[in-house]
Structure 1
Amino acid sequence: MIKLIFLSCWITGILFVSCQYKQKEVVQISTIDSTMQVNVTSILENKLSEINALSGQVIIMEVQTGHIKTLVGLTRKDSTNYQPCNKFSIQRPTGLMNPISILAALETGKVKLDDAVDTGNGIYSFKGGAIKDHNWNRGGYGEITVKQGLACNSNIATVKATLEAFKDNPMSYVTRLHQMGMGDLDKLKYFEELHPIRFMTKDSIWRDTDLAFTCIGYNLSIAPVQILTFYNAIANNGRMITPQLYKDSIIVINPQIASKVSIDSLKQALLFNITDGLGKPAYSDKAAIAGIQGTTLLTTNEDSTKNEYAAEFYGYFPADNPKYSIIVSINKTGLPVSGGLMAGDIFRQIAEYIINLK
C-alpha cells in the first residue's frame, strides 16, 4: 500500500513538473515596448507624409541582448494615409554596404582608413562600366582618405579600396564576408522568410567587375533586419547576435566578426561621419551618435521621376557605450532623395525621444 502511494505521488509529481514545463514553453514575453512602438510609428509616419514616400520601416534593437524594442512598418494606402505593413523580410540592394566592404578590406591589412584615394571628378570608368559619386556633376571629391570617403558616401573610394584589398582574388571578398557572419544572416529566428544574401554563394565565379559593383550594394539582395544584425555586431565590439522578438537566451551567430583593431577603426569612422560627414542630420547634442547613411536606386523607368529609391540610415548610441541599434529604411519615387537628410533625420528624432525617456 505504501509503495502504491509512493508510486502515485511520484507519477503525480512528474506530471506536475511536465505540465509546468510545457506551460513555461508556451508563455513567451514580448520584447516590444508598446509605448515606444506607438511613438516611433508617429515619427515615421510624419516623415513619410512630409516627403511623400511609398513606405518605410524602423527596427530598434538592444545592442547587447538583441531584444527588438520596436518593429514598425508602414506603406502608403493613398495620397495622405499610411497603414501597417509587416513585410520585414523583403530583400533588395542597399546603400549601406560601403562600410561593410571597408571592414572586410581592413581585415586584409592591405587598406587603412587614412590611405589616400583619388576619386577624380566623381566618375570612375572601370572595364566598360562607370561608377559615380553623388556629386559627379559638381566635379567630384578629388583626393580624399578612405575615412573621408565613407563620410561623404563616395562609391569610388569604396570601390578603389576594396579592389586594392581583393583584386588578386575577387572571390576572397565573399570568403571574408562569410568569415564575418554574413552568410548566416538568413537564419534569423522569427524571420523565417529570409533567403540567403544573393551574392554569398561560395562556388560562384567572381571577377573584379562583380566585386566593384557588389561592394557598394548592387548585385545583391539583403533585408534591413539583416543589415541591422550585422551593424549591431560592430556596435557590440564584434559579437554578432540574433534579433529577439521574445525574451530568451542570447543566440550568438559569430562571437567575433572581425579583429578589435578593425572594429575600433570602423567605429571611429562611423562617429566621424556624424560629426563631419553626410550623417550630420542624425547628430544630436543629447548623446554621441555613430552611424552611416545610404541611398540606392532600386528600379528604373522611362520617366525618371518614377525611379524608385531606398534611403537608409543605420546608427547606434551612445557611441562610447552603445545601448541601442536602429535602422531606418524609406522607399520613395523620384528625386530629391537622401539617406542622411531623410532617414537620418528620423533616426535623430527617435534617438532623442529615447534619450528623453530617462
Structure 2
Amino acid sequence: MIACNSTKQKDTQTSTTIDSTLQVKATSILENKLTELNALSGQVIIMKVQTGHIKAMVGLERKDGANYLPCENFSQAHESALMHPISILAALETRKVKLSDMVDVGNGIYSIQDRELKDHNWHRGGYGEISIKQGLASSSNIAVYKTMEKAFRDDAQAYFNLIDRMNYGKPDCIAGIANLKPAYFVTPKDSGWSDTAFAWFCIGYNQTITPIQTLTFYNAIANSGKMVQPQLYKDSTTVINPQIASQANIDSLKQALEYVVTDGLGQPAKSNKIQVAGETGTIQFEDGSYIVEFCGYFPANAPQYSIIVSIHKERLPVSGGLIAGDVFRQITEYIITYNKYFNSK
C-alpha cells in the first residue's frame, strides 16, 4: 500500500515536478478549445512515462458567463470514455482472443437482454465484420463486448479479478491532490449488479474514475507494463505494479493504440512531427451532457510523455478525436519544439 503524504505543501517550488512553461502553454491550448466549444470544463494532465512526474496539470471551468477559471477538480470522478483498450487487454490476458480475430458487429445495434448496445455509426449501418484491432480503432462498443463474451463467457467476476490484478483504478491517493478517492466499480458482488451491467461496464459505464487514475493505467501501457505512482514532488519513483500484463499483450495493445491514431478515430491526434499512440472516447451522462477524452503517449516507439485530455460539454457534435485529440496534438507538438530549445526537465 502506498502512503499518501498529505502534509507536503503544494507551494514548495523547489520540489515540484510541474514545468511552469509547459503549464502555461497547456492552459492556453485547453482554454482556447473550451472557448471554441463553449464547453463546461476541461482537464489536461501531462506525465513523464518512466518516473510518473506530473509536468503540467490544468483544470479549467466556465464561471460567470464565458470566462474560464482554474479549478481544483482533479479528484472529480466520472464514467470512463477510455475503457475499451483496458477491457481488450484483460481479454488478451485470457489467451482466448487475439487482436486479429474477427468479430461481426452487424448493423451497429446489438441486443443484450432488454437493452440495445449501439456503435456510434449505427444510423449508418454499422461496421459489419471487422477485426478486434479495427473495432478498437473504430471505438466499436459491440466489438469490445463481443470480445468480452468470447474471453469471459458467463464469468464476469474473472474479468474484474483480472483488472484488479492489473491495478486498474489506482492510485487511491496522490500527495498534492486533495480528496482523491478510490475508483468505484459496480461488480457481480454488488446489489446493483444486473444482467446487462457487465456489457456496459466493459465500455466505460457502471464505474467512476478520475482522469489521473485513467492516465496512470495508460502510462503503464506506455511504460511496457510498469505502473508507477503519479507525483507532483520530486521523490523517488514508486512502482504500483511492476508488470500489469504480459509483455506480449502490452506490445500488441501498443501497436493497436498506434493504429487508432494512424487509421482510426484518433487521427486528429496524429502529428507529422512524431509518431503518437492513444485512444479516443465519448461518454454521455444522464443529464444529456458529454465527456470527450483522448489519452495517449509519445513517441510511440519509445514513450517519454503520456497525456490525458478530458472535456465536459453540453451538446452535439461530440468526438473525442476531433476535440480532445486535437488538444493532445497541439500539446505534443509544443513539447517537441520546447524540448529542442529548452532541454526539457
1:221 equivalent among 190, 194, 208: 208
3-state SS in 1 of match to 2:285 = strand
Amino acid corresponding to residue 234 of structure 1 in structure 2: I
Structure 1 pair 59/341, CA: closer, same or farther in 2 (3 Å)?
A: same
Alpha-carbon separation, structure 2, partners of 1:178 and 1:238: 14
Any stretches of 5+ residues in structure 1 without a counterpart?
A: 1-25, 301-306
Any conservation in 1 of the 2:113–2:195 contact (CA below 8 Å)? no
Q: CA deviation at 1:28?
A: 5.5
Q: Which residue of 2 aligns with 1:44?
A: 30
Alpha-carbon separation, structure 2, partners of 1:39 and 1:127: 48
Any conservation in 2 of the 1:182–1:230 contact (CA below 8 Å)? yes
Matching of residues 8-157 of structure 1 within 5 Å:
29-157=15-143
Any stretches of 5+ residues in structure 2 without a counterpart?
A: 1-11, 341-345
Matching of residues 151-166 of structure 1 within 5 Å:
151-166=137-152
The structure richer in helix per residue is: 1
Any conservation in 1 of the 2:170–2:216 contact (CA below 8 Å)? no
Q: Which residue of 2 aligns with 1:16?
A: none
Amino acid corresponding to residue 245 of structure 1 in structure 2: L
Identity of aligned residues (%): 61
Q: Which residue of 1 aligns with 2:316?
A: 335
1:313 is the counterpart of 2:294: yes
Alpha-carbon separation, structure 2, partners of 1:185 and 1:215: 20
TM-score (norm 2): 0.92
Report Cα offsets for 1:114-142 as digits up to 9, x if no partner: 11011110100011111000001010101
1:348 is the counterpart of 2:335: no
Alpha-carbon separation, structure 2, partners of 1:207 and 1:308: 25
Amino acid corresponding to residue 77 of structure 1 in structure 2: K
Any conservation in 2 of the 1:28–1:247 contact (CA below 8 Å)? no
Higher-Rg member (1/2): 1
Amino acid corresponding to residue 242 of structure 2 in structure 1: P
Any conservation in 1 of the 2:41–2:312 contact (CA below 8 Å)? yes
3-state SS in 1 of match to 2:96 = coil
TM-score (norm 1): 0.88
3-state SS in 2 of match to 1:172 = helix
Q: Which residue of 1 aligns with 2:243?
A: 256
Q: Which residue of 1 aligns with 2:269?
A: 282
1:181 is the counterpart of 2:167: yes
Any conservation in 2 of the 1:189–1:243 contact (CA below 8 Å)? no
Q: Which residue of 2 aligns with 1:198?
A: 184
Alpha-carbon separation, structure 1, partners of 2:64 and 2:141: 35
Give the alignment's Cα RMSD to 1 decimal: 1.6
3-state SS in 2 of match to 1:182 = coil
Report Cα offsets for 1:94-132 as digits up to 9, x if no partner: 110010000000000011101101111010001111100
**Matched pairs, number:** 327
Tell me which stretches of 4 or more aligned residues in structure 1 moved more than 6 Å.
none
Q: CA deviation at 1:189?
A: 3.7
Q: CA deviation at 1:200?
A: 6.5
